[in-house]
Chain A
Amino acid sequence: MAGGLVLVLLSFVPPVARAQGNYEIQVYGADTVEPKSLMVELHSNFTPEGQKYVIDGVYPTNHQEHETLELTAGLTSWSEVGFYVFTSEQAGHGVQWVGDHIRPRVRVPDSWHWPVGVSLSTEVGYQRAVYSPDTWTWEIRPIVDKTMGRWYFAVNPALERTWHGPDVNQGIGFAPGATFTYDVSKQVNLGLEYYADYCRITSPCGLHEQQQQIFAVTNLNVSPKWEINIGVGVGPTAATDHLIVKGILGRHFDWGHHSAVD
């Protein structure tokens, strides 16, 4: 599945899902990476205004610079697998490896002719306790999206489960993400992204403890090979970093041999 739309979809990045903290901030589109191709993305997130204190042995997020390498390989026309390497850089701590995740994903094939794009991803991974008290986590993320002319929306009602850490007894957490964007031109797309964590899905925590973030984003479609997403987000609740700047730079690589007759 080629094209600018894919570019746009792939750049609608996601959330502050607690499983990844502020390492990969992206709302997923339903499309998957084509088989015999690889999407390499660098997620760069800086927190100008965040948590300033060490709490329960976890480093503060204030002035942390997160660099996340994401490699996503297409398996079939309807499936892919992604792999993440999370890193953090902060004064006094230097550059640190934070953890790794793996994320298989499947989608409804085009031949089903559904009126909306639908896919399902699941993500499992580890992160060091000094960066996240929950070290082993699992997430399942339904994805629904739709393009209507110049408008695009996607929702990711993600569910999370901690396998090791303080929240292991919390049960299933609810961390939705959503985006709504508009094509200003063929190259420039503007929109909003919303990320939240409502704690336990069966008994959401109070607003004070919820994570809520809204990003103003720009997606630049300069080439089908490249993905560029830039955003600034604010978090109004006490449990959320108050200001985050994020960027995604992606490059699509194709290792299949494609002759004119393929």
Chain B
Amino acid sequence: MLTRRRFTQLAGMTSAAMTLGRGVRAQMKMPAGQPMPPPAPPIPANAPPADFTLDIAPYVLEASPKHRYPTVAYNGQVPGPLLRMKQGRAVTVDIHNRSADAEIVHWHGLFLPVATDGAMEEGSPAIAPGASTRVTFTPDPAGFRWFHTHTFAGNDMRKAQYGGQHGLLIIEPSEGSGATAYDREIVLALHDWGGREMPSADGSAMPDYEVATINGKMLGSGEPVRVKQGERVMMHVLNSSPTEVHWVALAGHTFHVVALDGNPVPQTATVPMLRLAPAERVSAIVEMNAPGVWVLGEVRKHVQAMGMGIAVEYANATGVAKWVQPQDLVWDYGQFAERSYFALPASPTGIDGPIEIPLTFDSKFEGHGNEEIWRINGKSYPEVESPPLVAGQRYRLAMKNLSIDDHPIHLHRHTFEVTNVGGAAMRGLMKDVLLIPAGRTSTVEFTANHPGNTLFHCHQQDHMDRGFMMVFRYA
């Protein structure tokens, strides 16, 4: 990991780099004690045009004519652009930071080296305000991924993931990879806006929001999703909310889930609704067999009332979008896992079998007017200690959640296999985000096959800002 001392040594090599580094530090809000990220290299003067360009710039989101939120977005839109890349084919992305803050772009769910993964805690470079950089990487694995800012918000609930810096990324499989057949592809991003700290049931403050959107619009304010009868529509749904879990349903229809977090599930299943924790993605086929105009929206009434919904309109159908209220919240990771898991060996062991890494999550009360400080094994980032990973070794993260909150944990640069969720054993489900239920122990396993600093954290912005992070280092 790039320590502050090491950075000073590097920054001293050139005056230009040192100047940039100071700019980054001045513009990037960072928790105390966190190592300063290195400055991102500029785009070479004679570089050929990049495959993709991201402009990070101020933007005013109009969730509805009555709800406008100044934010920062990619390419002047929320969500950002849908980028399509080919698995295994190198791409270049030019990133121009026209915002007032140092920025960093995290390519969520990809197996990328530290230099391009986009997490300053790992040592990825940050882009100073007004600066530009070029990242080059080879996309892998295939599937529905996304990219987003990975900065510190603290108490400013317009910054970092509270804002509009999130975009969609589809890595198309390389030749020969099987793909699910469908007629139309739709991407939907769920988000919450206008957050502020409010008292919570557990005694500490937590974010509360004014507005919830799908693709940046409140229900009734955006264009409908237009479909035709008989189509098989692939819906890629992303929860880009900074902190909130969401349940969504499409009235009159069901979802046939084929992938979670972009990874094909061992067992496809048809479900009445989707549950997505922050940063989770679901890819599902919807058979368009009920002509009309329907609401695809949050199942919980108070969240749909905040705006989370979008109309799905069949060709030649008219009228007000219809909603059918489900009476319960239904979701189970296990239905997508291998059904014969109990007949399998305990674990696909690596070199020496999985090494268990116990992780205990809890929080420290900081007053009824403050959010808690979050801890892993009794310490908050950056003081959290982690064992070094050995390349090729398989590890089991045994996560004991002592808190009263569910936590969407995310492991950078790797995919893990879900092996137990709150006591329910399963196998074969590959993900990069998992909602760890409160008061229970859950386990995931992964093979350390992408050397380099690897960030592990709760994907709730307020939790990661308050210590719920750790960095695995390779030996």
Contact = CB atoms under 8 A, between A and B. Distances in A.
Interface of A: 1-8, 110-111, 113, 147-152, 183, 185-186, 189, 221, 224, 259-262
Contact of A260 (B196, B328, B366, B370): B328
Given A6-B199, A111-B210, A152 B369 contact: yes
A150 B327 contact: no
24 contacts: A2-B200, A3-B199, A3-B201, A3-B368, A4-B204, A5-B199, A5-B369, A147-B367, A147-B369, A149-B366, A149-B370, A150-B368, A152-B369, A183-B367, A183-B368, A186-B203, A186-B365, A221-B203, A224-B201, A224-B203, A259-B328, A260-B329, A261-B328, A261-B329
Say whether chain B's binding surface is mostly helix, strand, loop, or mixed.
loop
A149 B367 contact: yes
B98 to A, nearest CB: 28
Nearest to B303: A261
* Most chain B CB inside 10 Å of its own CB: which residue of A8, A152, A259: A259
Given A111-B210, A262-B300, A3 B367 contact: no
Contact of A4 (B203, B300, B326, B329): B203
A259 B326 CA distance: 11
Which one of A113, A148, A186 has the greatest number of beta carbons of chain B within 10 Å? Answer: A186
A206 to B, nearest CB: 39
B299 interface: yes
A16 B301 CA distance: 44
B301 A261 contact: yes
A6 B368 CA distance: 9
Given A2-B200, A2-B201, A221-B203, A8 B301 contact: no
Nearest to A2: B201
Nearest to B203: A4
B328 A147 contact: no
B367 A151 contact: yes
Contacts of A5: 199, 203, 205, 368-369
Interface string B229-261: 000000000000000000000000000000000
B385 to A, nearest CB: 26
A3 B210 contact: no
B202 A4 contact: yes
Contacts of B199: 1-6, 147
Contacts of A2: 199-201
Given A183-B365, A262-B302, A3 B200 contact: yes
Contacts of B91: none
**Central interface residue in B198, B200, B203, B210, by most chain A CB within 10 Å:** B203
B235 to A, nearest CB: 21
A6 B366 CA distance: 16
B367 A150 contact: yes
Nearest to B199: A5
A261 B325 contact: yes
Contact count band on B: 20 to 34
Nearest to A148: B369
A154 to B, nearest CB: 13
Contacts of A1: 198-199
Given A4-B203, A113-B196, A150-B367, 16 more contacts: A1-B198, A1-B199, A2-B199, A2-B200, A3-B368, A4-B200, A4-B201, A5-B369, A110-B198, A149-B366, A183-B367, A186-B204, A260-B300, A261-B328, A262-B300, A262-B302
Nearest to A187: B203
A183 B365 CA distance: 9
A110 B200 CA distance: 14
A2 B202 CA distance: 9
A83 to B, nearest CB: 25
Interface string B271-303: 000000000000000000000000000011110
Contact of A152 (B196, B365, B368): B368
Nearest to A110: B198
A262 B301 contact: yes
A183 B203 CA distance: 11
Contacts of B210: 111
A183 B198 CA distance: 17
A7 B203 CA distance: 9
Contacts of A224: 201, 203
Given A2-B201, A3-B200, A6-B199, A259 B327 contact: yes
Contacts of A149: 366-367, 369-370
B299 A185 contact: no
B311 to A, nearest CB: 20
A150 B198 CA distance: 14
Interface string B290-331: 000000000111100000000000000000000001111100
Contacts of A8: 368
Nearest to B325: A261
Contacts of A152: 368-369
A189 B365 CA distance: 12
B32 to A, nearest CB: 16
Interface string B329-358: 100000000000000000000000000000
Contact of A150 (B328, B329, B369): B369
